[in-house]
Amino acid sequence: MTELSNIIITEEEIRNRIKEIGSQVSKDYEGKELVMVCVLKGAAVFVSDLMRAINIPAVCVDFLSISSYAERSEAGAVRILKDLDIDITNRDVLVVEDIIDTGFTLGYLLRILKARTPASLKVAVLLDRPALRIVDLPVAYKGFEIPEEFVVGYGLDYNQKYRNLPYICLLKTKK
Ligand code: IMP
Ligand code: MG
């Protein structure tokens, strides 16, 4: 018996939307050097497609990894498990994340990255679940808004599984 339920965003819809976001990013950063910061592991699939949809020549990519919900203290603090290799001081930085839910994860991350004084700091998320937002954050590029249900695929996991699915789909066992 599978845990997977309906596909809510198809492979083709993702591909088309990423093309649009890539064009917009290319326009917005024309003539600049862009540092894309991928939040592991969820955004790995998104960043690899998005960076290839951007046609400015000077794109760097770097990765960081933060503690997941399960690893967090009761206060909900997010910890950096693997930091960036690149120094982002005075660089134009685009943080790439899989999904923004309450906003705690990104809110925390943006505070840390801002303290390193980048020239600019923006956010691209594949998925936005606005119904559950607690921390309000500026999101420059957004793929899709989704309903309250838990989703997997295209980088997003449930117990580390299903990141390989090329579409976004609902899970039967989790709300
Ligand atoms: P936030 O801190 O509540 O905004 O949660 C964002 C993080 O929770 C994301 O980076 C994901 O890793 C994880 N997450 C939230 N919703 C989902 C989901 O539906 N599927 C998989 N991971 C999720
Ligand atoms: Mg994540």
- What confidence tens digit (pLDDT) does each residue in 56-114 have? 989 999 999 998 655 555 556 678 899 999 999 999 999 999 999 999 889 999 999 99
**Domain extent for 66:** 11-147
For the Cβ of 108 lying below 6 angstroms from any atom of ligand 1, the answer is no
Residue type, 142: K
pLDDT value of residue 22: 98
Domain contains 140: yes
pLDDT value of residue 2: 77
Ligand 1 atom index nearest CA of 97 = 10
pLDDT value of residue 75: 58
pLDDT value of residue 103: 92
Q: Decide if 85 is catalytic.
A: no
For the Cβ of 128 lying below 6 angstroms from any atom of ligand 1, the answer is no
CATH classification at residue 58: 3.40.50.2020
Domain contains 20: yes
Q: Tell me the two tokens of residue 145.
A: 């808004």
Stated pTM of the model: 0.94
Domain contains 159: no
Cβ–Cβ under 8 Å, residues 115 and 133: no
Q: How many domains does the structure of the chain reveal?
A: 1
Domain contains 3: no
Ligand 1, atom 22, residue with closest C-alpha: 156
Domain contains 44: yes
Domain contains 1: no
Cβ–Cβ under 8 Å, residues 63 and 80: no
pLDDT value of residue 72: 55
pLDDT value of residue 152: 97
Domain contains 55: yes
pLDDT value of residue 60: 97
For the Cβ of 154 lying below 6 angstroms from any atom of ligand 1, the answer is no
pLDDT tens digits, 113-168: 999 999 999 999 999 999 989 989 999 999 999 999 999 999 999 999 999 999 99
Domain contains 166: no
